[in-house]
Amino acid sequence: MAVLGLVAAACFGVDRRLHDEIALPAVERGWQVAITLTPTAERWLKASGEYDRLAELADLPVRSESRLPGEPRPHPDPGTFLFVPASASSTAKLALGIADNQALTVLCEALGDPKVHVSVCPRLSEAQAGHPAWPGHLATLRAAGALVTPVSPDQPWTTLLDALPVAGTHRP
Ligand SMILES: Cc1cc2nc3c(=O)[nH]c(=O)nc-3n(C[C@H](O)[C@H](O)[C@H](O)COP(=O)(O)O)c2cc1C
C-alpha cells in the first residue's frame, strides 16, 4: 500500500474539511495515510473533535510532536506528501528550510529528497499573499519540484488527490 504523508496547518476550514475532503477520500483511494499536524492545527482539531475522527481513520498515529531519540519512527517514509491546507507561515518556513516543528521537519526533509513527491496547497488571505516575500517562496518550492496548488474556500479539496504524482516516478 502506498503511503501518503498528509500534513495540515492551522488554516480556515481545516477543522471541518481535513477528515471528510482529504483524509477519508485518500483512504478510500487506497492510500495508507500518515498524518502530521502543526502544533496549532492539532490544537484546533482537538478543540473541534475532528482529531479523534482522524485518529480513528488512520491506522498510523496522528503526529505533531517529534519522537525521543530512543523511540521508533511512528510513520514509514512516504513516497508522496500532500500539505493541505498549507498556511502562509508554514509555507514560508518550508521554502526557507525552517523545520521548527514535526510537520515542517518531515516536509523539509521530503523537499530535500528528489525521490519524494511534495504537493503544497496554500490557503491564505489576499493580505498574506501580498507579503513581498510570498512570490519568492512559491518560486523556491516550484524550482525544487514541488507541485504548488493554492486552494480557495469555495473549492472542494478532494480533487487535490487526483493531481497527486505517482510514487516512484521522478519529480519534474
Ligand atoms: C480563525 C483563523 C483562521 C485562519 N486562517 C488562516 C488561513 O486560512 N491561512 C493562513 O495562512 N493563516 C490563517 N490563520 C493564521 C494561522 O493560523 C497562523 O499564522 C498560525 O500561526 C499558523 O500556524 P501553522 O502554520 O504552524 O499551523 C488563521 C487564524 C485564525 C485564528
CATH code: domain of residue 141: 3.40.50.1950
Q: Identify the pLDDT of residue 136.
A: 98
Ligand 1 mean position, distance from CA 154 (Å): 17
Ligand 1 atom with minimal separation from the 88 CA:
11
Q: Identify the pLDDT of residue 119.
A: 97
Q: Count structural domains, the chain.
A: 1
Q: Identify the pLDDT of residue 171.
A: 62
d(CA 162, CA 124): 22
| Mean pLDDT in consecutive groups of 10 residues from the start of the chain, 172 residues | 96 96 96 97 97 95 96 96 98 98 98 96 97 98 97 91 73 62
Q: Identify the pLDDT of residue 153.
A: 82
What range does the domain containing 49 cover?
3-65+75-163
Helix (H) or strand (E) holding 50: helix 50-57
Q: Cα dist. 23→54, 82, 137, 148, 158 in Å?
A: 7, 10, 26, 19, 9
**169 located within any domain:** no
**103 located within any domain:** yes
Ligand 1 mean position, distance from CA 83 (Å): 14
**70 located within any domain:** no
**136 located within any domain:** yes
**61 located within any domain:** yes
Strand partners, 147: 119
**168 located within any domain:** no
In short, whether 8's Cβ falls inside 6 Å of ligand 1 is no
**170 located within any domain:** no
**146 located within any domain:** yes
